[in-house]
Amino acid sequence: MFFERIPFLDTEILNLGACSFASPLRFTHGGRFVSDGARILKSLDPSEILCATGQGKVPVSFEAAGPRERIFFDPARMRAAIVTCGGLCPGLNDIIRSLVIELYHRYGVGDILGIRYGLQGFIREAGHAPLVLTPAVVERILDMGGTILGSSRGPQNFDHICDELERSGIQILFMVGGDGTLTAAHLLSETVRKRGMDLAVVGIPKTIDNDIAITERSFGFDTAVEEATRAVRSAHTEAVGYPMGVGLIRLMGRHSGFIAATAALAQQEANFVLIPEVPFDLDGEGGLLWSLERRLAERGHAVIVVAEGAGQNFFGEKDGVKDASGNMILKDIGLFLKDAIESCFRAKGKAIAMKYIDPGYMIRSLPANAGDSVFCSFLARHAVHAAMAGKTDMLVGYINGSFVHLPLALCAGKRRHVDPGGSLWQAVLETTGQGSLRVF
């Protein structure tokens, strides 16, 4: 039945306790506070809402983000810390700066630490002394790529982290990262609760791939698409500049093809888009090589955009090798396709001009564009509001145009994917005209 596809989600946000302090924002915020009872619907589909209410259920909704009138922590007697983990991403410094400015100027928190080199910074043997963060320290970091705190990959002992949190007197920890970081934040929150510590752990979603579950957007994606679009434009220019020119661009997207699909729509010069969610065949009538040959015969040039996680089935058995963050190390689909295309046309005695572009690390190290910078400022401010109100084991998400509080348990270890039947992928198919690229 229809209502069976409306899942139950535990959207309750954990609180450290009663909020005993009046928010200092009452002097500057004009009384525009948000109550814990304010909710944002997960789905705006009227049929789902009617179905849920018709079954006597409450439609799934999330706690709205925003400043609370009363807060849990005394700003004058507390210490906050910020840690950035995982791969580099445009916007990390924007998040750091906005967190510091909101804590310091809006709430009056004068004791803020930056944990250096990810979770390694909590391990004393690693020797990474924390950075004292003030508005003066973060004043000019918006135009810098990367993160002034540094980063690292890989797990650390949660008991050791908690020991250091207690020794340092940290009461709020902002963890900025992707799936691995958010999973670690959730597990750390559980360890903190078992110890009975009054410490708020608040996550801020960071991933270029835009694939964190539930939330519709993570910072870094907008900048990544903008730069990826330049790569598509360059590949097209190179392809049309030579007879039988082929531009091949490998973009980020381990499990989800949002960057590849969105960049292709932004530039509309890609003829083939390959993403992890949609299988394709290489050989045979209807496959990629056959379709590429037809395209070159008709138009004399072609542009192919491939997400890094696409076509992993062509490499046979997985060897199970993982990186320090626990991610499976992918085979290089870009170089594989380059060799396969060149070999195919060479065997047929046809000369092509192959131009291969991989802008991955160039994109990761960029400063945020204007859109991402604004988004980062919203994420950071809402994270501070939530943490000061004693909310924990949560992240700030973005649903239906609104910022919300999401339990980390809903997002950790899960991913969002491009829906092959959804409007984004259908728009890609219409724009490229590539067909299914399957042999039947």
Residues 393-416 have a mean pLDDT of 93
Kindly write down the DSSP assignment for every residue of 313-359, as one continuous string: GGG-S----B-TTSPBPPP-HHHHHHHHHHHHHHHTT---EEEEE--
Is 134 among the domain residues?
Answer: yes
Q: Are strands 200-205 and 394-399 parallel, antiparallel or unpaired?
A: parallel
Q: Which residues are annotated as a binding site for Mg(2+)?
A: 179
Is 439 among the domain residues?
Answer: no
26 and 175 fall within a common domain: yes
How many other C-beta atoms lie within 10 A of the C-beta of residue 50? 13
Residues 295-303 have a mean pLDDT of 96
212 and 141 fall within a common domain: yes
Residues 136-143 have a mean pLDDT of 94
192 and 64 fall within a common domain: yes
> Which candidate, 102, 98, 95, places its Cα nearest to that of 146?
95
Q: Does 7 have pLDDT greater than 70?
A: no
pTM of the model: 0.91
CA distance 228 to 361: 11
170 and 270 fall within a common domain: no
76 and 163 fall within a common domain: yes
Q: What is the pLDDT of residue 393?
A: 96
Q: Does 48 have pLDDT greater than 90?
A: no
Tokens of 429: 């198919």
Q: Which residues are annotated as a binding site?
A: 87, 153-154, 178-181, 207-209, 252-254, 308, 361-364
Q: Which residues are annotated as a binding site for substrate?
A: 207-209, 252-254, 308, 361-364
Q: What is the pLDDT of residue 1?
A: 32
Q: Does 60 have pLDDT greater than 90?
A: no
Is 322 among the domain residues?
Answer: no
89 and 229 fall within a common domain: no
Q: Does 228 have pLDDT greater than 90?
A: yes
Q: Which domain holds residue 84?
A: 21-45+58-216+368-399
Number of structural domains found in the chain: 2
Tokens of 262: 């969105």
> Which candidate, 211, 249, 257, places its Cα nearest to that of 429?
257
Q: What is the pLDDT of residue 3?
A: 40
Check if the beta carbon of residue 200 is closer than 8 Å to that of residue 392: yes
Residues 349-373 have a mean pLDDT of 93
CA distances to 202, 303, 391 from 196, rounded to whole Å, are: 17, 57, 15
95 and 133 fall within a common domain: yes
The string of pLDDT tens digits covering residues 88-115 is 999 999 999 999 999 999 999 999 999 9
Q: Does 2 have pLDDT greater than 50?
A: no
Which sequence positions are flagged as catalytic? 209
Is 41 among the domain residues?
Answer: yes
94 and 229 fall within a common domain: no
Is 13 among the domain residues?
Answer: no
pLDDT category, 190, cuts 50, 70, 90?
very high
Is 11 among the domain residues?
Answer: no
Residue 398, C-beta contacts closer than 8 angstroms, at least 6 positions apart: 215, 216, 217, 375, 404
CA distance 199 to 166: 9
345 and 256 fall within a common domain: yes
361 and 374 fall within a common domain: no
Is 178 among the domain residues?
Answer: yes
Q: What is the pLDDT of residue 316?
A: 75
Q: Which residues are annotated as a binding site for ATP?
A: 87, 153-154, 178-181
Question: For the domain that residue 281 is a member of, what is the CATH number?
Answer: 3.40.50.460
Burial track 271-302 (b if 16+ CB lie within 10 A, e otherwise):
bbbbbbbbebbbeeeebbbbbbbebbeeeebb
Instruction: Name the β-bridge partners of 166.
Output: none
385 and 350 fall within a common domain: no
Is 136 among the domain residues?
Answer: yes
183 and 276 fall within a common domain: no
Q: What mean pLDDT, rounded, does the chain reach?
A: 91
Express the helix, strand and coil content of the chain in percent, nearest 5 each.
40, 20, 45
> Which candidate, 82, 23, 36, places its Cα nearest to that of 404?
36
